[in-house]
Copies of this chain bind each other. A is one copy, B any other.
Amino acid sequence: MQVSFTPDEIVLIVQPKEKRGSTAETVRGIASLGAAEAGELTFLGNPKYRAEAAGTRASVVLLPLDYDGVPQPNQLHLLVDNPSVALAKLCSRLEQLLWPKPAPGIHPTACVDRRAKIAISATIGPLCVIEADAVVGERSHLQAQVFVGRAAKIGQDCWLMPGVTVAAECELRNRVRLQPGVIVGSDGFGYDFVGGRHEKIPQVGNVVIEDDVEIGSNTTLDRARFSRTVVGEGTKIDNLVQIAHNVTIGRHAILCAQVGVSGSSTISDYAVLGGQAGIGGHITIGRGAKVGGQSAVTFNVDPGAYVNGSPAISYMLGQRLEVLHRRLPELFKRMDKLEKLFPADDAGERG
């Protein structure tokens, strides 16, 4: 990444509430507090690292308003409401260099069915396949080797990275970003056990992905048995997540990496599922509820609740039980001691 910002340019972009010190360096890199060198910019985003801010060698430091330290020589402190958001503003300038806007048009190596409808401002990259009756909206970008199946709909300003598959009749609304290898619309996993064999239950619904959803690499979303599997507006899904058939995910939810959601479950608005959590079938995670990483949820979770563990229980109860669990050796010793006070004829019963 070619980075080059003068201190003045940075001030213009992040609009600090306060400036302390100054530097003559041009910023040519971004790094963490501990790793940054002269000529680089750093930031204090996580309070955990506050102690490291004083010693950083960075030339420009983004800091929270309540930071009371003093800059070193040739170092500029910029105090802002939210150093993480300020950094994001800088990085979105860099992002435009990383991903230059592609020219509209259909690459000559793409296979586009003549019954597909491609907006004039869309970009269809090399070696993409678009089947009959599919639709790609204005300014959407299919980067390379993307597959869009029969009658699938891609809205406006979407970005499908290399190797994405959107199967027949599935629908992406607007500004949907799919990282490489995402599969939208594979068959749901449903069989009837008949005569000693698993007979396939046809999966004839689809997947609908609403506005502003982002989905991580190699994540899979199955089409509904009938009707639709839904991912609501603004929801963000990380890598290698599994969304089963007929799942409904609400708006602005967060699903971390390697989460699995079983069939017909509902993840409500603003819910947060930690990495590797598993959600059973036919259950509901309430609005704003939090599920800890690696938890296994097998029952409905109330709105706003925080559950954890496998099987999941309330976070507070889980913490308490965990503490007592680690005191089991002590408890067994105390039991032994008490029993010695009352010698009985039952020694044989003990494990």
A313 to B327, alpha carbons, bound, how many Å?
13
Asked whether B198 lies within 8 Å of A236 as measured between CB atoms, the reply is yes
Chain B residues near A168 (CB-CB < 8 A) = 98-99
Asked whether A161 lies within 8 Å of B180 as measured between CB atoms, the reply is no
Asked whether B325 lies within 8 Å of A226 as measured between CB atoms, the reply is no
Asked whether B310 lies within 8 Å of A310 as measured between CB atoms, the reply is yes
Most interface-central of A203, A242, A246, A256 (chain B CB within 10 A): A242
A-side interface size class? 35 or more
Chain B residues near A198 (CB-CB < 8 A) = 234, 236, 252, 254
Asked whether A169 lies within 8 Å of B335 as measured between CB atoms, the reply is no
A276 to B275, alpha carbons, bound, how many Å?
11
Identify 5 residue pairs between A and B in the complex whose beta-carbon atoms are under 8 Å apart, listed by A's number: A109-B111, A163-B165, A324-B329, A330-B349, A338-B338
Quick check: is A127 within 8 A (CB to CB) of the other chain?
yes
A282 to B30, alpha carbons, bound, how many Å?
18
- 20 further contact pairs, Cβ within 8 A, besides A147-B162, A163-B183, A280-B293: A88-B200, A95-B203, A98-B204, A111-B127, A125-B129, A126-B129, A147-B163, A147-B180, A183-B218, A183-B239, A189-B257, A239-B242, A256-B262, A293-B296, A310-B310, A325-B325, A330-B350, A330-B351, A335-B335, A338-B338
| Chain B, Cβ-Cβ closest to A149 | B162
Asked whether A129 lies within 8 Å of B127 as measured between CB atoms, the reply is yes
A276-318, CB under 8 A of B: which get 1 and which 0?
1010101000000000011010000000000000110100010
A contacts, CB < 8 Å to B: 1, 29-32, 35, 46, 48, 82, 84-85, 87-88, 91-92, 94-95, 98-100, 107, 109, 111, 125-127, 129, 144-145, 147, 149-150, 161-163, 165, 167-169, 179-181, 183, 186-187, 189, 191-192, 194, 196-206, 212, 214, 216-218, 220, 222, 225-227, 234, 236, 238-240, 242, 244, 246, 252, 254, 256-258, 260, 262, 264, 275-276, 278, 280, 282, 293-294, 296, 310-311, 313, 317, 320-322, 324-335, 337-339, 341-342, 344, 346, 349-351
Asked whether B333 lies within 8 Å of A331 as measured between CB atoms, the reply is no
Asked whether B252 lies within 8 Å of A240 as measured between CB atoms, the reply is no
Number of copies: 3
A246 to B45, alpha carbons, bound, how many Å?
14
Q: Which of B144, B161, B311, B325 contacts A186 (CB 8 A)?
A: B161
| Chain B, Cβ-Cβ closest to A241 | B240
Asked whether A296 lies within 8 Å of B296 as measured between CB atoms, the reply is no
| Chain B, Cβ-Cβ closest to A167 | B180
Asked whether B200 lies within 8 Å of A220 as measured between CB atoms, the reply is no
